[in-house]
Amino acid sequence: MTERSFEILDVSLRDGSHAMKHSFTEEQVRATAKGLDAAGVNYFEVSHGDGLGGSSLQYGFSKVDELKLIEAAADECENAKVSVLLIPGIGIKEDLQEAVKVGAKMVRVATHVTEADVAAQHIALGRELGLKTVGFLMMAHMAPVEKVVEQAKLFESYGAEIVYVTDSAGYMLPNDVTERISALKQSIGCEIGFHAHNNLSMAMANTIAAVEAGATYIDGSLRALGAGAGNTQTEVMAAVLERLGYNTGIDLYKLMDVANDVVAKFMQRPQEITGSGLIMGYSGVYSSFLLHTQAAAQKFGVDERDILVELGRMKAVGGQEDLIYDVAQQFALKKQKVEV
């Protein structure tokens, strides 16, 4: 077997927050964290779906304060380390400092793929606090390879130890992933990560492409619990990588147990590729828009697919959730005019 050359980072307790409408309880987090730790997963993420400071009217309020959840998760870990997501403009430096006090050991500072420059002080703070510090380029399909490389170099210059290519919309195909990861491998000295969404059923194929191109950190979520159609399914990913000859360092049975006996029991719905998820991937729309779009479509009596296609045409990005309701209202007004 090939020696372990990458880390599997589980995002069930962060990306899954979107699918759970930010309603995780301390008991759910503790049970999941304990299971991931026992299975040999070295890093897993705990935050509001939109990162530290995300609990708000715009993004959705958390049922339980994320600091309590981070502390609970860290308390269950013997070997694993808790990561947090921070999006500059949503989370602030004080949020990160508080997260460290309750047990966070890694921070992933996330920006739109063309806006790495807004993260310089957050990356620097992560290093000062002794965290494993990551630059997370969201919606990476929206920029040409040369721009992705440019922005990755910025993250590296600020002190990022890992730079992620993030397929936030589940839009990429394997060749897109190979092209971006390979370009970063040739252009930067720090490690490279990849985060997938499954809106076009490409998450596993894209993750394999990332590993083969040189990614050393790859994300997954148990039972694919995540925004949109979910992420690469962690337990399936571990099995596939073992089949491919990689030594993942993970106990597959224990990983399956936490997926099936813990996470599956608290999921609000199965993760599947619905018509809306498909349109998100096809149009390149941010995966966390899904539940907001469904709510807007119901409120205004319009087709959620129309909203998503229009958002894709507008090239909407994370942080522009208010556009969802604007677009829904515009379709509702057009519908009224036609009916009159």
Sort residue 271 into left (φ over 0), alpha (ψ -120 to 50) or beta.
beta
Which member of 18, 22, 112, 122 is catalytic? 18
Residue positions forming the annotated binding site for substrate: 14-15, 168, 195, 286
Cα separations in angstroms, 75 against 98, 193, 263: 16, 26, 19
Residues 207, 220: Cα–Cα separation, whole Å: 9
Residues 247, 233: Cα–Cα separation, whole Å: 18
Residues 151, 145: Cα–Cα separation, whole Å: 10
Residue positions forming the annotated binding site: 14-15, 168, 195, 197, 286
Residue positions forming the annotated binding site for Mn(2+): 15, 195, 197
Beta bridge partners of 91: 88
292 has catalytic annotation: no
DSSP for residue 240: H
**Sign of the dihedral defined by the CA atoms of residues 260, 262, 265, 270, in that order:** negative
Cα separations in angstroms, 201 against 123, 126, 291, 327: 33, 34, 19, 27
Q: Which residues are catalytic?
A: 18
